[in-house]
Chain A
Amino acid sequence: MQAIPNARVGFSKAMSSGWITVTKNAGEPIVARKVDDIKDTVRDHLQLILAKSPDEVTDEQKQEYKKRKLLQEVVTKSFLLGKGKNFATSVEKPETELTQEMIASGSWKEKNFKPYNLDSLGISPERGHLHTLLKVRDQFRQIFLEMGFSEMPTNNFVESSFWNFDALFQPQQHPARDAHDTFFISEPKLSTKFPSDYLERVRRVHSEGGYGSQGYGYEWKIKEAQKNLLRTHTTAVSARMLYQLAQKEFHPAKYFSIDRVFRNETLDATHLAEFYQVEGLIVDHNLTLGDLIGTLYEFFKKLGISQLNFKPAYNPYTEPSMEIFCYHTGLHKWIEVGNSGVFRPEMLLPMGLPEDVNVIAWGLSLERPTMIKYGLNNIRDLVGPRVNIQMVHDNPICRLEK
C-alpha cells in the first residue's frame, strides 16, 4: 500500500463501501473480495461532470468531491461592454472646485466638475457656546421683561437671618432655620446693621402679634436674627425691595430675579446644595388671588404650558398659598412646577406698606424645567464641573414655548 499512490484512500473507501474484507488470522492480514460486482458511483459522477451534466450530481456530493480535491469549481465572469452616452476617446480628470483663475480665464466653461457628495456632513463652524442652563435663564429673563418686570439686585449670596427669615414672618423655631437645612456662616458670623424701628416692629409682630394678627407667642431673640447664612431663597431680596419701596411714596411695582440660592439638604440625582430660583412679584393696591392665577396663566403660556392646576399649600410667609401643577403632555401626568402665594400682612405691614397693598408672588427652580425639557435625569449633567462639555456644544437654541 505504501508503494502505490492513493492506495490508502482506495482501500478505506473500498472497506467503507463493503467491497472488500480484511481477516486477521494468525500471521498477516488478508484482504479478500466481498462482493461480486461493484458500482463506482464516484467515478460515475465525475464522468457525468466531465460530460457536462453537472446537475445530475447533488450539491452535497459536489461539496464532498471538492473536499477530496477530486473536483474544482472555477468561476468565470464575463462582461458585455458597449459605448455609453459620454463615450470619448480621450480621458479628462473632473475638477473639484471652481477657482479664481477659472473665473478670470473663463476656463470653467470647458471643465467637468465632480458632483458633490451631499450625504456627507459639512465642516463644523468655529464657534464658542453658551451654557445650557444659562440659555434657559436668558429666556426666562426675556419673559419677565416682556411682561414689564424690573430685575432686582440679587448679587449677594450672604444674608442675615433677619432678612432671610424674620422679615418674612418665618418664626425663629421653624424647622427650615435648622442647621441641617440652612448653611450658616462661621466667618463673618453675624450681621448687626438693621433699621432699628423696623426691627422692633418685626420683633413685636412675631412675639405679641398686632396688625390684626395673634402673632406666634414666643420670645423673639435678636441673636437668632443676626446669624449670617447663605440665602435659602431670593425672597430675602424681595423683602429688602419691598422695605425700600415702603420708605418712599408708594407706587406699584413688578419685580423679578433669577439667581442662586443654597440649601443644606440631602443631595441626590435631582438635588444639589445650590440651584437657581426664579422669582416674580407684583405689588399693587387690592391685588387678588384671581390676579395671581391670571398672571400665572400668562407666564406659563410663554413657556408653552396652557393647562394649570392649583393646590392649596403652606408657606410661612404667604397666605393663601398655592402649588402650581402643569400637565406634561409627554409624560401624561400632572407635575409640580412651582409655588406661589399672597404675602402675609404680618410681613408687609411692619415694613410700612399701605394697608390695601397686596403682594402676589411666585417662584420655581430653573433646573427642573430645564431637565424636563432636555430629558436629563441627573442634575450634575447640567450644572457643575462634571457637565459634559460635548452636551454644551450640541445643545440647541432654547425655545421655551416649544
Chain B
Amino acid sequence: MPIIGVKRDLLFKSLGQEYIHFLFSSADDQFSDLCFEFGLELDEVTTEKQMITNEQGAEQSAGASEDIVYRIEIPANRYDLLCLEGLVLGLLVFQGKLSPPRYKAVTPEKGSVQKLIVTPATKLIRPYAVAAVLRNITFNQDSYKSFIDLQDKLHQNICRKRSLVAIGTHDLDTVVGPFTYDAKPPSDIKFQALNQDKEYTATELMDLYSTHAQLKQYLHIIKDSPVYPIIYDKNGVVLSMPPIINGNHSRITLNTRNVFIECTALDLTKAKIVLDTLICMFSQYCIDKYTAECCEVLLPDGTVTRYPELAYREEVVNIQKTNTYIGISEPADKIAKLLTKMCLKSEVANSEDQVIVEVPPSRHDVIHACDIYEDVAVSYGYNNIKKTIPKTATIGAQFPLNKLSDQLREQIAQAGFTEVLTFSLCSRDDIATKLGRNINDIPAVHISNPKTLEFQVARTTLVPGLLKTLAANKKMPLPMKLFEVSDVVIRDETAEVGARNERRGCALNCNRTPGFEIIHGLLDRLMQLLEIPRSSNKDMTGYYLQAVDDPAYFPQRCAEVVANGQVIGIMGVLHPDVIMKFELTHPVACLEINIEPFV
C-alpha cells in the first residue's frame, strides 16, 4: 500500500481547520478518525528529520526540518489521493466543504496547440505517448516538492517502476514546439542531463548512472535496446530520455509558469490515467483553475489525438440495487448527496429510481457500478450499516481427508507422540543429499526465484522437518517422540497444474537406541484404528511389512509398509549418515505413510 508523507501544519491549514487539542483526543487522533472513516490509515506521526535518520542515519539528518509529518497509507487504486493536494481535495469534498471541481481541457488562448510527433522508431521500444500543458501555474516550495513527489509515487505504483509509463515535466518557456518523440541509437544521443554540468552521450550516461542509487534500477528498461527513446524540441534541444532522465535545459524551477508534461508508455490506458491524475492534482495552481491546455499527438500512421482526455463518464445506478447491495434503504436524493461527497457528482434521474453519477477523470478506479456502491457505503459509514444475518440455510460438512487427518492426529498424540508443524519449503539437500539420494531422481517442485536456500523446493517427505525439529530441541529429555500429519508436494504430469499434494503421516522415535519396535507398535495401532487387519499370508487384504533397501535407512533395518496390496509407506532405523547430516547425535527410528488411500 502506498504511503505519502504530508506536513501536518500545511495539511491542517489547507483543510481550513484548527484541530484543537481536546482533553481526551489529540489532533492526531481526530485526524486519524477522519482517515479511518474515509478509508485511509494514519500510519505514523513523525518528523522529516526522524525519517531521514531512519533511512540514512543521524548524520545525514542534521539541519532537516522538525515539522510534524503525517505518513498516511493510501489504497493502491486511488491515484487521486497520492499527494497533499489530492488528499485535501478528497477530504474537503468528503466533509461537504467543497463541491467537486470540474476539469477541462482547453485550447490555447493565443498561439497554436502544442504538438508531439511520434516517429515509427519508437514502436521498437516504447510506442505510446501523451502530452498536456499546465498554463500560468504558480509553484511555491511546498507545491513544487509535492509535484515532484507525485511523479515519483506514480512511477513507483501504476507505472510499475517506470517500466510501463514514464513521466517527464518541463518548463515550456525554455523550449520551442513542435516536439518530436523518437528512438535513436544510443551513440547518436548527446545532451546535458539534469544536474550534470556537461553533455554526455546516452551510452556514457548509462555508465554514469550504473552506480546512481536511484537511477540504476531503471537502466535495464532500455539498456539493451538498439534504440533509446528521446524527446527533443524544434531546435533539437533534448527534453528527456525516457524513462531514465530529463534534460537539464528544460528543468522546472520555482519560477516556472508553464509546464509541458509528456508521458511515454507501453500501456496507453495507464499513460492516460497518469496524465489525467497529474492535471487533476495540480491544475488548481493555474490561473484558470482546473484546466489544462491540450496537446496533439501525431502518430506515425497519421492519426492525431488530443490529450489530456479528462473524460467524464456517466454511470446510471439503480437505487434499489444500490440499497440491496449495501443493506440500507436510502432515497435517491440522499444517495446522490452521499456520492457527491466522494467526488462523484450525482443527480437524481427523472425516473426517481435511478441516480446519474458523473465519474470524473480523477476517479479512474471506478470501473463498475460496484465501485459506486462502495463509495455510497463509505460515505454512509460502514459502521452505520445495520448488521443482518443472511437467511442462507446450509448444512456444514468436513473435507473427508481433513477429517481423517484430524482423527489420526488425535490418536497419534494419545499414543504418546508430540506434534510438530514444519515448513513446506526447504532446500534441495534436505530432501536429497542429506537423505542419501540424488535430487534429479526426486519428483520435486522447484521454486524459480528462491531468496535463500530454504526456499529451493517444496518438500517431498516429512522426515527432514521432523529431524530439524529434533536438532533444535536437543535440551529436551529423551526419548523424543515426534509426529506430523501434513501435505508434501509431488510433481505429477497427470495433475492439472503438473503437481499435487499428498497427505502423509510421519512419526519418529529418538533415544539411546532407535526403538524400531516403538514405531512398529505405532503402525500396528494405526492399522487397528483404520480397521486394516494384519495379513499373515501377504495378500491383497490387510497390511504387512517387507524388507527393502533405502539409502536413508540403515541396511537390514528398513521395511516397506504394504496395505491392501499397495505400498503406502516406509519404516526403519535412519542411516547414521542421515543422523550426522542433520546434526543429530542419537539414533532415530522413523515411519512415514501416505494416508490418502484410507479416506
- Hey, which bits of chain A sit against chain B, CB under 8 A? 126-131, 133-134, 138, 141, 144-160, 173, 175, 179-180, 183-191, 193, 209, 211-218, 228, 230, 252-254, 260, 262, 264, 272-274, 282, 284, 286-291, 293-295, 297-298, 309-314, 316, 319-322, 342, 344-346, 358, 360, 383-390, 392-393
Contact A148 B447 (CB under 8 A): no
B306 on the A face (CB < 8 A)? no
Write the nearest CB–CB distance from B338 to chain A, whole angstroms.
Answer: 13
Residues of B contacting A388 with CB < 8 Å?
473
- Nearest residue (CB) in A for B481 is A128
* Contact present for B387 and A319 (CB under 8 Å): no
B425 near A147 with CB under 8 A, answer no
In whole angstroms, what is the CA distance A145 to B508 when docked? 32
List residues 370-421 of chain B with CB under 8 A from any CB of chain A. 370-371, 373-374, 377-378, 382-383, 385-399, 401-402, 406, 409-410, 412-421
CB pair B327 A130 closer than 8 Å: no
Cβ contacts A to B, 28 pairs, < 8 Å:
A128-B418, A141-B402, A148-B394, A148-B395, A149-B394, A157-B501, A187-B491, A188-B493, A188-B499, A191-B497, A191-B498, A216-B269, A254-B394, A254-B396, A264-B455, A284-B390, A290-B388, A294-B388, A294-B390, A298-B389, A312-B75, A316-B77, A342-B325, A344-B368, A384-B422, A385-B423, A392-B418, A392-B419
Task: Specify which chain A residues have a CB less than 8 angstroms from the CB of B144 in the assembled complex.
Answer: none
- Could you list 13 further interchain pairs (A-B, Cβ under 8 angstroms) beyond the known A151-B398, A151-B402, A310-B383? A131-B419, A141-B402, A150-B397, A157-B424, A188-B491, A218-B267, A254-B392, A254-B396, A287-B390, A288-B326, A293-B382, A312-B377, A344-B368
Residue B445 is within 8 A (CB to CB) of chain A in the complex = yes
A254 smallest CB distance to B (angstroms) = 5
Contact of B377 among A193, A289, A345 (CB under 8 A): A289
Contact pick for A213, options B76, B268, B325, B368, CB 8 Å: B368
Inter-chain contacts of B402 with A (CB < 8 A): 141, 151
A298 to B371, CA, bound (A): 27
Complex CA gap A183/B451 in Å reads 10
- Contact at B416–A214, with CB atoms within 8 Å? no
Closest to A189 in B: B448
How many whole Å from A213's CB to the nearest CB in chain B?
Answer: 4
Residue of B nearest to A190 (CB): B498
The A-contacting residues of B in range 187-201, CB under 8 angstroms, are none
Q: Which residues of A contact B324 (CB under 8 A)?
A: 286, 288
**Cβ of B1: which chain A residues have Cβ within 8 Å of it?**
314
Contact B468 A385 (CB under 8 A): yes
Report the Cα distance A144→B397, complex, angstroms.
Answer: 9
Q: A157-B487, A274-B425, A385-B472 are in contact. Are A314 and B449 (CB under 8 A)?
A: no
* Chain B residue at smallest Cβ distance from A265: B451
* B38/A312 in contact, CB under 8 A: yes
Q: Are A312 and B368 in contact (CB under 8 A)?
A: no
**Which residues from chain B sit less than 8 Å from chain A, CB to CB?**
1, 36, 38-39, 41, 75-78, 157, 160, 164, 267-270, 313, 324-328, 367-371, 373-374, 377-378, 382-383, 385-399, 401-402, 406, 409-410, 412-425, 444-451, 454-455, 458, 465, 468-469, 471-473, 476, 480-483, 487, 489, 491, 493, 496-501, 503
| Bound form: Cα–Cα A282–B389 in Å | 11
For A130, list chain B residues within 8 Å (CB): 409-410, 413, 419
Contact pick for B269, options A152, A218, A286, A345, CB 8 Å: A218
| Distance A271 CA – B480 CA, assembled complex (angstroms) | 29
B382→A312 contact, CB < 8 A: yes
- Minimum CB distance partner of B315 in chain A: A212
Instruction: Verify A188–B497 contact, CB threshold 8 A.
Output: yes
Whether B421 pairs with A134 at a CB distance below 8 angstroms is yes
Known: A144-B396, A311-B36. A156 touches B500 (CB 8 A): yes
Q: Which of A129, A183, A191 touches B447 (beta carbons < 8 Å)?
A: A183
A150-B397, A217-B269 known; A188-B498 Cβ under 8 A:
yes
**B325 and A128 within 8 A (CB):** no
- Determine the residue in chain B with the shortest Cβ distance to A321: B374
Return A186 CB to nearest CB of chain B, in Å: 4
> Closest approach, in angstroms, between the C-beta of A339 and any C-beta of chain B?
12
Query: Nearest chain-B residue to A390 (Cβ)?
Result: B476
User: Is the beta-carbon distance between A312 and B390 smaller than 8 angstroms?
Assistant: no
Q: Which of A151, A158, A218, A385 contacts B498 (CB 8 A)?
A: A158
Contact (Cβ within 8 A) A385 B39 = no
In order of increasing CB-CB distance, the 4 nearest A-B pairs are A290-B327, A188-B498, A312-B39, A288-B327
Contact: B392 with A212, CB < 8 Å? no
Residues of A within 8 A of B397 (CB): 150-151
Contact A131 B421 (CB under 8 A): yes
A385 partner, pick from B370, B414, B471, beta carbons under 8 A:
B471
- CB contacts (< 8 Å) of A187 on chain B: these are 444-446, 491
Asked if residues A345 and B468 are in contact (CB atoms below 8 Å), the reply is no
How distant is B374 from chain A, measured CB to nearest CB, in Å? 4
Q: Assess the A126–B409 pair: CB atoms within 8 A.
A: no
Is A129 a contact partner of B497 (Cβ separation < 8 A)?
no
Residues of A within 8 A of B406 (CB): 138, 141
Which of chain A's residues has its CB closest to B157's CB? A175
Instruction: For the complex formed, measure the closest distance between the CB of B294 and the CB atoms of chain A, giving whole angstroms.
Output: 21
Contacts of A312 in B (CB 8 A): 38-39, 75, 374, 377-378, 382
Shortest A297–chain B CB gap in Å is 6
CB pair B425 A173 closer than 8 Å: no
Pair A156/B425 contact, Cβ less than 8 Å? no
CB distance from A139 to the nearest CB of B (A): 12
Contact A133 B328 (CB under 8 A): no
> Hey, which chain B residues are within 8 Å of A215, CB to CB?
367
In the bound complex, CA of A216 to CA of B368 (Å) = 11
Of all chain B residues, which has the CB nearest A358?
B325
Check if B325 sits within 8 Å of A289, measured CB to CB: yes
For A294, list chain B residues within 8 Å (CB).
387-390
A387 contacts B374, CB within 8 Å? no
Q: Give the Cβ gap from B225 to chain A, nearest Cβ, in Å.
A: 20
Chain A residue numbers with a CB within 8 Å of B410 are 130
Selected from B394, B423, B489, the residue in CB contact (under 8 A) with A252 is B394
Q: Enumerate chain B residues within 8 angstroms of A253, measured Cβ to Cβ.
A: 392, 394
Would A313 and B75 count as touching, CB distance under 8 A? Answer: yes
Residues of A within 8 A of B414 (CB): 127-128
What residues of B have a CB within 8 angstroms of the CB of A288 in the complex? 324-327, 388
Q: A150-B397, A184-B449, A387-B420 are in contact. Are A291 and B389 (CB under 8 A)?
A: yes
Q: For A216, what are the chain B residues with a Cβ–Cβ distance below 8 Å?
A: 269, 367
CB neighbours (8 Å) of B378 from chain A are 312, 320
Are A311 and B396 within 8 A (Cβ)? no
Q: Which residues of A contact B422 (CB under 8 A)?
A: 384-385
Q: Report whether B487 and A184 are in contact in the complex, using a CB–CB cutoff of 8 Å.
A: no
How far does the Cβ of A245 sit from chain B's closest Cβ, in whole Å? 12
Whether B398 lies near A193 (C-beta < 8 A) is no
Assess the B370–A342 pair: CB atoms within 8 A: yes
The one of A175, A228, A273 that contacts B455, using a Cβ cutoff of 8 Å: A273
Q: Are A311 and B390 in contact (CB under 8 A)?
A: no
Given contacts A209-B367, A387-B420, contact A273 B425 (CB under 8 A): yes
* Known A-B contacts A133-B421, A148-B394, A151-B399; A184 and B448 likewise in contact (beta carbons under 8 Å): yes
CA distance A215 to B367 in the complex (A): 7
Interface-centre pick from B267, B269, B396, B481 (highest chain A CB count, 10 A): B396
Say how far A129's CB is from chain B's closest CB, in angstroms: 4
In the complex, the answer to whether A291 meets B382 with C-beta atoms within 8 Å is no
Contact check, A387 vs B469: say whether CB atoms are below 8 A apart: yes
**B498 to chain A: closest residue by CB:** A188
Min C-beta distance of A326 to chain B, whole Å:
13
Which of A128, A185, A191 makes the CB contact (< 8 A) with B412? Answer: A128
Task: Decide if B501 touches A319 in the complex (CB within 8 Å).
Answer: no
Question: Which residues does chain A contribute within 8 Å of B371, judged by CB atoms?
Answer: 319
In the complex, are the beta carbons of B448 and A186 less than 8 A apart? yes
Minimum distance in angstroms from A295 CB to a CB of chain B: 7
Q: Which residues of A contact B76 (CB under 8 A)?
A: 175, 314
Residue of B nearest to A184 (CB): B448
Q: How far is the CA of A179 from the CA of B449 in the complex (A)?
A: 7
Question: In the assembled complex, how far is the CB of residue A144 from the closest CB belonging to chain B, in whole angstroms?
Answer: 7
Are B449 and A385 closer than 8 Å at their CB atoms? Answer: no
